[in-house]
Amino acid sequence: MKLAFSSCPNDTFMFNSIVSGRVPISFPFELRIGDIAELNRWALRRETDITKLSYFTYFQLADEYIMLNAGA
């Protein structure tokens, strides 16, 4: 599972428990951190499974990604 998010404080806070191992995850994951332009590019190239996206990019990929209840 490939997880990607930005280095902004909101994202690092939201994923801290997973990344630090405080919340046990039963599957291996690869972590990628980048700015929103990188996150969008990775998603458009289908390189991530879970990622932060801009709204514009999300609507280009809405048939492939599901928007979560967390975040803005």
- pTM here is 0.83
pLDDT of residue 52: 92
2-57, pLDDT tens digit by residue?
999 999 998 899 889 988 989 988 888 899 999 999 999 999 999 999 999 999 99
| Calpha distance 35→41 (Å, rounded) | 10
pLDDT of residue 40: 98
Question: At 71, is the pLDDT very low, low, confident or very high (cuts 50, 70, 90)?
Answer: low
Give the alpha-carbon dihedral of 51, 53, 58, 62, to 10 degrees: 10
**Could you state, in order of their start, the residue ranges of all structural domains in the chain?**
2-60
